[in-house]
Amino acid sequence: MGNALVVTSGKGGVGKTTTTANIGTALALQGKRVCLLDLDIGLRNLDVVLGLSNRIIYDIVDVATGRAKLHQALIKDKRFDDLLYVLPAAQNAEKDSLEPAQVKDIVEALRPEFDWVILDSPAGIEQGFRNAVEGADGAIVVTTPEISAVSDADRIVGLLEQRDMVFPPRLVINRIRQHMMADGRSMDIDEITKHLGIDLLGIIVDDDDVIASSNKGETVVMDPDHLASQGYRNIARRLLGESVPLLNIEQKKVGFWARLFHRQG
């Protein structure tokens, strides 16, 4: 039976969907069977990030209401053989079209077939959030080093702790800007982790290529050379139980000649 994790944050725009797509892809690269569920009803975009939009026929609301069978709605990402699937959200349905019990039933139906079921939660703490956490054994709380995101993450952790899940929530700090942390203009990793009081699952540096690759319908994790990609790969390995040291994000100093010739040293 597979594990079910919800990726959540409270605040919008911190990178929940990107994190879901990249962690899912990283787990698939490790040979695990993964199913990603988009629960952002009305504003689906997990399929967009993975470049699978054109292949949607049925969605999660169709499955929940019995209009389609689960295997009809699942979209296979052919780049990963039989390892990565997406169950897309509905685009033309009300936000409250799904009930937590329906999501739980879908997750339970997916567990025997997949090693990991990852639920992409919408922003906020309303029905969509409740749907997403209902079927999950644990949560990945995504935040950025902004105070508003950390504050919302704090609220989310409080709500998750009340639910008494199988695994305690774990933290991913996304969009880290090394230079801002280095000169003290943003909260650093230790401060955020200590403030939220939950285990750190991983860190992802701010990288233009994350946006660029997602615009192409690809996940940055597929390119192992990027620092962001390494961050996602490390998270996947930690989820699989490996002990992986935290990514070294110290910026390399660029020498005079390298700067002169626009090359990094």
Partner 1 sequence: MEAVTLKGRKAGFELQLADWAGISELTAQLQTLLARLATDTPEGNVDFMIETGDRVLGADQLAEVTRVFDDFPRFSIKSVHAEVDHVVPLRQRFLAQSIHLVGGIVRSGQVVDCTGDVLFVGTLHQSATLRATRSIFVLGEVAGLLIAGYTGDQDAVIAGDISKAGQIRIADTVEVVEANDYGPQTLCYINDLHILDHGALSDLGKLRPKLFRKLEDL
| Sites of contact with partner 1 (CB under 8 A) | 151-152, 154-155, 157-159, 161, 195, 197
Write the DSSP string, 191-230: HHHHHHTSEEEEEEE--HHHHHHHHTT--GGGSTTSHHHH
| Cβ 16 to partner 1 shortest distance, Å | 18
b vs e for 66-104, b when ≥16 Cβ sit within 10 Å of the residue's Cβ? eebebeebbbebeebeebbbbbbbbbebebebbeeebbe
How near is the Cβ of 151 to partner 1 at its closest, in Å?
A: 5
Name the residue nearer to partner 1 (CB basis): 77 or 152: 152
**DSSP state, residue 171:** E
Closer to partner 1 by CB, 125 or 180: give it: 125
| Nearest residue (CB) to partner 1, 88 versus 128 | 128
Q: Which is nearer to partner 1, 151 or 178 (CB)?
A: 151
Q: Measure the CA–CA gap between 155 and 148, rounded to whole angstroms.
A: 11
Work out the number of other CB atoms within 10 angstroms of the CB of residue 56: 17
> From the CB of 197, what's the least distance to partner 1, in Å?
5
Q: How far is the CB of 198 from partner 1 (least distance, A)?
A: 9
CB of 262 to partner 1, least distance (A): 43
Nearest-approach distance from CB 204 to partner 1, in angstroms: 23
Compare residues 53 and 151 and give the one whose CB is closer to partner 1.
151
Closest C-alpha to 140, from 34, 43, 19, 25:
19
C-beta of 40 vs 152, nearer to partner 1:
152
Q: Please give the Cα distance from 143 to 11 (Å, whole number).
A: 8
* Minimum distance, C-beta of residue 148 to partner 1, in the bound complex (Å): 11
Q: What is the DSSP string of 29-87?
A: HTT--EEEEE--TTS--HHHHTT-GGG--S-HHHHHTTSS-HHHH-EE-GGGTTSEEEE
For partner 1, the closer of residues 157 and 247 by Cβ is 157
- Give the Cα separation of 227 and 229 in Å (integer): 5
